[in-house]
């Protein structure tokens, strides 16, 4: 949103607009002769859902303004010794792991990103509760068709202590057309291996300047 997040306004094709973008701060001293590269993109899939049709963006002119800090003369700031709480006493039951895979379908052209993040399982040594979770994500899109974008997640959350255990399985799928986002979701709750609760959700959300 070039002017404000509270009152976003649509862009007009072919019209030139001025925009000021505040970048994240980076504590780095640029040596003489080095260059900084600023990349501007019309898409950031799958972090940001794509526009309903391909976008062309032209830059008329741009400037990059950097803060300039004079070299410090000695230690200008001194901090006291940090305070810290007693470390959390845990036992690792299942170690963490992470996987990323990209698949390109040579027949259809669809590109699929598959993500598995196993956050492991740990036992709290103070009260014995074991907490674990795993998330799986699948993001697919055809490079020439923004409306082909789909996203799916499956999250497993577990809790157990001694002889009892509970877990939830949550699923969410998202797609879109030119006017709306379409979301479907499901939750399942288990006590041991017995399903004790389930619910399905469906929602269509109108696109607004997206």
Task: Give pLDDT tens digits for 38-78.
Answer: 888 889 999 999 999 988 888 888 898 888 888 878 787 88
pLDDT of residue 69: 80
Mean pLDDT of the chain: 93
Angle formed at CA 54 by CA 53 and CA 58, multiple of 5 degrees: 135
Does the residue 33 lie in any domain? Answer: no
Q: How many C-beta atoms lie closer than 10 Å to residue 38's C-beta?
A: 8
Number of domains in the chain: 1
Does the residue 160 lie in any domain? Answer: yes
Does the residue 138 lie in any domain? Answer: yes
Higher pLDDT, 122 or 39: 122
Cross-strand bridge partners of residue 201: 185
pLDDT in tens, 153-192: 999 999 999 999 999 999 999 999 999 999 999 999 999 9
Does the residue 123 lie in any domain? Answer: yes
pTM: 0.86
Q: How many C-beta atoms lie closer than 10 Å to residue 91's C-beta?
A: 11
Tell me which residue range forms the domain holding 111: 90-206
Longest Cα pair distance anywhere in the chain, in angstroms? 67
């Amino acid at each position: 949103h070039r002017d404000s997040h509270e009152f976003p306004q649509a862009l007009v094709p072919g019209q030139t607009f001025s925009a000021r973008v505040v970048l994240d701060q980076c504590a780095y001293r640029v040596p003489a002769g080095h260059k900084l590269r600023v990349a501007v993109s019309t898409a950031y899939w799958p972090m940001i859902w794509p526009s309903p049709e391909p976008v062309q963006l032209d830059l008329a002119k741009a400037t990059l303004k950097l803060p300039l800090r004079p070299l410090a003369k000695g230690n200008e700031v001194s901090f006291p010794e940090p305070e810290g709480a007693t470390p959390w006493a845990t036992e690792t039951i299942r170690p963490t792991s992470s996987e990323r895979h990209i698949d390109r379908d040579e027949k259809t052209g669809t590109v699929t990103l598959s993500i598995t993040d196993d956050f492991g399982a740990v036992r709290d040594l103070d009260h014995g509760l074991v907490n674990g979770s795993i998330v799986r994500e699948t993001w697919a899109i055809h490079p020439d068709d923004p409306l082909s974008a789909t996203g799916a997640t499956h999250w497993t959350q577990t809790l157990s202590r001694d002889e009892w255990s509970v877990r939830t399985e949550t699923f969410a799928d998202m797609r879109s057309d030119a006017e709306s986002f379409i979301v479907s979701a499901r939750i399942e709750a288990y006590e041991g291996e017995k399903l004790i609760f389930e619910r399905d959700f469906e929602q269509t959300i109108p696109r607004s300047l997206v």
